[in-house]
């Protein structure tokens, strides 16, 4: 086998290995379909429904900042 043929063979093996990896990843990491019920749940969620967010009455110009234990609405001083 010539050096060029050897390189092509090695490249084919690398591509096959990558293809096998991607196929196994894809079949193991499937994403469930998005249903109307899922969209409704997400659309009706509020920041305060999250356990680590405390922003009951944010004001115009405030941003969420993490204070070490939770996210709070604070002025943006940057």
Look at residue 33 and tell me whether its pLDDT is greater than 80: no
Q: Which of 12-21, 44-53, 54-63 has the lowest mean pLDDT?
A: 12-21
Tell which residue, 42, 46, 40, has the closest CA to residue 58.
46
**What confidence score (pLDDT) does residue 8 get?**
80
Nearest to 68 by CA among 49, 48, 54, 50: 54
Higher pLDDT, 64 or 9: 64
**pLDDT(18) > 70:** no
pLDDT for 20 beyond 80: no
């Amino acid at each position: 086998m010539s050096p060029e043929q050897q390189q092509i063979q090695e490249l084919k093996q690398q591509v096959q290995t990558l293809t096998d990896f991607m196929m196994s990843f894809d079949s193991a990491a499937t994403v469930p379909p998005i249903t109307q019920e899922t969209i409704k749940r997400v659309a009706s969620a509020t920041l305060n429904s999250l356990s680590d967010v405390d922003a009951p009455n944010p004001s115009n110009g405030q941003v969420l900042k993490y204070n070490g234990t939770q996210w709070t609405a604070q002025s943006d001083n940057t």
